[in-house]
Amino acid sequence: MVIAAVLLLLNTYPLLVSEDLVFRSKASTLQSSVSVMVYSLSGLERLTEENVSAAMAVVEETGISRILVTDSAGKVLYDTRETGSAVGEYALYTETVQSLLGNDAFTCSYQGGAFRSRASSPVLYQNQIIGAVYAYEYDTEQAALLQGLQENLLRLSAVIAVVVLALSMVLSRALTRKIGRLLTAIRQVREGAYSHRAEIPGRDEIAQIGQEFNSLTDRLQKTENARRRFVSDASHELKTPLAAIRLLTDSILQTEDIDAATTREFVADIGKEAERLSRITEDLLRLTRLDSGVLDPPARVDVLPVLEQVMRMMTLVAQERKAELTYDAAGECTVLATRDEIHQVIYNLTDNAVKYSGTGGIVQVSLRREGDWVVLSVADNGPGIPEEDINRVFERFYRVDKARSRSAGGTGLGLSIVSDTVKKRDGSVEAANRPGGGAVFTARWPWKGGEAQ
Ligand code: ADP
């Protein structure tokens, strides 16, 4: 539309301007010719055919097609046209009438490949109008020039239109093809084909959108895989204690004359499995809350009192398992989090250390400030973690030794909860093996100085 408008303007504006220029030049030349003629008649007291012819004989009439001289009544006294001369007739053209009323008149029109210009002026004698001179010019030369210009402009416009049309068709086809590919990819992914990728060549914006879309799909695929794995792992974890409960209840129901001691033993086992179920669901709920991104508003928390509280409880657990638990703390360790989160992290790490180092285990917990970080490390002298598993222990349901974790009452979710909880507060957690044996877990939170709330 814009190009069509520009072409229309290109085809009309220069022509209109040139036409106007020609009109102006015609007006000045024709009017000055008429003035010369009027001047040559100006000495006459009255106009007659004879004296007008005599006066006009000396006037040069270059380029003028017809000249008429009328008397004050509009009767033609002189006409340059030989055949069909109007001498003796009345020439009441608009221009002559105007002149007989005392005005100079000029009109010009461009039609049918010719400029037709008419000029007329009154002839005065002692301020009396005694006649009028009328000149008519029919010019095809300038009109031909104008027509040439018009044709050239039309040809140029046609070339521009063809080029623009071809270019826009090529461009729009390329564009629609790319958008089409993107659309197909979006639809495929929407239908669940997460492995589908948008193949868009080039480096333009659409190709970039394609790349962004592909990386988005990558993430979607990863999230979807993780979700599927999580759901299947979670169902599996829930199924195991449920199956055990069913087995135990079936045994009680189906064994005839079951003695009270065995029943009590079975029911105690059922209780343990139920406890496990509730631990798993609690951990799952905690993780879902972390995933939903809805966090309790953080406050400045001094980690030391929380550590002391966990240590009081865990010392009893350690004693029960014949393990030794010690802790030390240094510096002002304030972080931006909630008390519950800190409690959970310290508890899970210490519980694991006590759990996996077993009888005779030595667990050392240390809390300190290192520059802008508050660092909590939990070290033990247990079996440590095989190097190939060290980066995977934070994954959900990942256990190095499944049987051992289960028998120790683990859910396989403790470390993922620790990792997610710490990361939500811009911290980090890592696992390592100690040179002398045993594992050490280190959690870091950004240090927030100031009064704890
Ligand atoms: P679990 O409930 O099984 O303890 P976690 O997520 O807390 O689950 O830990 C994942 C796995 O990491 C454990 O099953 C265990 O194999 C390993 N792990 C965790 N802490 C320790 C530790 N202190 N020493 C050795 N292995 C550990």
Alpha-carbon distances of 229 from 141, 195, 280, 342, 437, rounded to whole Å: 90, 17, 16, 28, 33
- Give the architecture (CATH level 2) of 297-446: 2-Layer Sandwich (3.30)
- Reply yes or no on whether the pLDDT at 227 is more than 90: no
405 lines ligand 1 (CB under 6 A): yes
* Residues 391-400: tens digit of each pLDDT: 899 998 888 8
Mean pLDDT of 238-263: 92
Mean pLDDT of 10-30: 91
Mean pLDDT of 203-222: 92
Where does the pLDDT of residue 449 fall: very low under 50, low under 70, confident under 90, or very high at 90 and above?
Answer: confident
Name the 3-class secondary structure at 65.
coil
pLDDT for 451 = 61
Mutate to test the pocket of ligand 1, among 233, 349, 352, 429 (most ligand atoms within 8 A of CB): 352
- Give the architecture (CATH level 2) of 2-147: 2-Layer Sandwich (3.30)
Q: Going by CA atoms, what residue is nearest to atom 14 of ligand 1?
A: 399
If you measure from the C-alpha of residue 328 to the centroid of ligand 1, how many angstroms do you get, rounded to a whole number?
A: 23
Query: pLDDT > 90: what percent of the chain?
Result: 67
226 or 101, greater pLDDT = 101
* Residues 371-394: tens digit of each pLDDT: 999 999 999 999 999 999 998 999
Q: Cα 282–340–236 angle (5° rounding)?
A: 20
401 lines ligand 1 (CB under 6 A): yes
Contact 352, 414 (CB under 8 A): yes
Mutate to test the pocket of ligand 1, among 415, 421, 422 (most ligand atoms within 8 A of CB): 415
Query: pLDDT > 70: what percent of the chain?
Result: 99
Which residue is listed with tokens 């009017």? 31
Q: Going by CA atoms, what residue is nearest to atom 7 of ligand 1?
A: 414
Closest ligand 1 atom number to CA of residue 357? 24
pLDDT for 245 = 95
Which residue is listed with tokens 């009192």? 305
Q: Going by CA atoms, what residue is nearest to atom 8 of ligand 1?
A: 412
| Per-residue tokens: 169 | 């068709």
> Could you tell me the pTM of the whole model?
0.61
* Residues 349-374: tens digit of each pLDDT: 999 999 999 899 999 999 999 999 99
Mean pLDDT, the chain, whole residue set: 91
Contact 378, 349 (CB under 8 A): yes
Question: Whats the size of the chain, residue-wise?
Answer: 453
290 lines ligand 1 (CB under 6 A): no
Q: How far is CA 65 from the centre of its chain?
A: 69
pLDDT for 453 = 56
* Domain boundaries of the chain, sorted by first residue: 2-147, 205-289, 297-446
Mutate to test the pocket of ligand 1, among 349, 356, 377 (most ligand atoms within 8 A of CB): 356
Where does the pLDDT of residue 406 fall: very low under 50, low under 70, confident under 90, or very high at 90 and above?
Answer: confident
- CATH number of 205-289: 3.30.1180.20, 1.10.10.60, 3.40.50.20, 1.10.287.130? 1.10.287.130
Q: Going by CA atoms, what residue is nearest to atom 13 of ligand 1?
A: 399
Helices (H), 139-204: 141-190
Mean pLDDT of 212-221: 92
365 lines ligand 1 (CB under 6 A): no
Mean pLDDT of 293-304: 90
* Residues 165-178: tens digit of each pLDDT: 999 999 999 999 99
122 or 92, greater pLDDT = 122
Spatial neighbors of 130 by CB under 8 A, at least 6 apart, are 44, 45, 46, 47, 71, 72, 123, 124
Alpha-carbon distances of 345 from 310, 341, 378, 385, 446, rounded to whole Å: 10, 6, 11, 19, 15
